[in-house]
Amino acid sequence: MVDVAIIGVGQTPFGTHPDKGLKELFFDAFYEAVDDVQKGFDPKLIQEAYIATLETGGGQLGNMAALMMENVGIPYVAARRVENACGSSSFAFRDAYLAIKSGTLNFVLVAGVEKMNDLPRERNRLWLGVSGDNEWERLAGTNFPGIFALMANRHMYEHGTKREHLAMVAVKNHYNAARNEKAQLRFEITIEKALNAPMIAYPLTLFDCCPTTDAATTVILCRSDLAKNFTDIPIYVWGSGAATDFLAIHDREDITRLKAVELASKKAYEEAGVKPSDIDLAELHDCFTIAEIIEYEACGFAPDGKGWKLLEDGTTTIKGKLPVNTSGGLKAKGHPIGATGTGQIYEIVHQLRGDIKEKERQVRDAHIGLTVNMGGSGGTAAAHILSNERR
Catalytic residue ranges: 86, 335
C-alpha distance from residue 37 to each of 101, 239, 322, 361, 371 (Å): 21, 22, 28, 22, 22
Select from 256, 340, 324, 327 the least CA-distant residue to 291. 256
C-alpha distance from residue 187 to each of 174, 206, 261, 312 (Å): 6, 14, 29, 22
- Residue 180 in contact with residue 124, Cβ under 8 Å? no
How many Å apart are CA 205 and CA 200, to the nearest integer?
A: 5
3-state secondary structure of 376: coil
C-alpha distance from residue 377 to each of 209, 245, 249, 299 (Å): 13, 10, 8, 16
- Residue 14 in contact with residue 336, Cβ under 8 Å? yes
The DSSP bridge partners found for residue 239 are 385
Select from 382, 68, 361, 85 the least CA-distant residue to 218. 68
For 217, residues 6+ apart whose C-beta sits below 8 A from its C-beta are 9, 10, 11, 12, 29, 89, 111, 112, 113, 336, 339, 340, 342, 343, 345, 346
Measured in whole angstroms, how far is the alpha carbon of residue 289 from the centre of its chain?
Answer: 14
The DSSP bridge partners found for residue 380 are 244, 375
- Residue 244 in contact with residue 264, Cβ under 8 Å? no
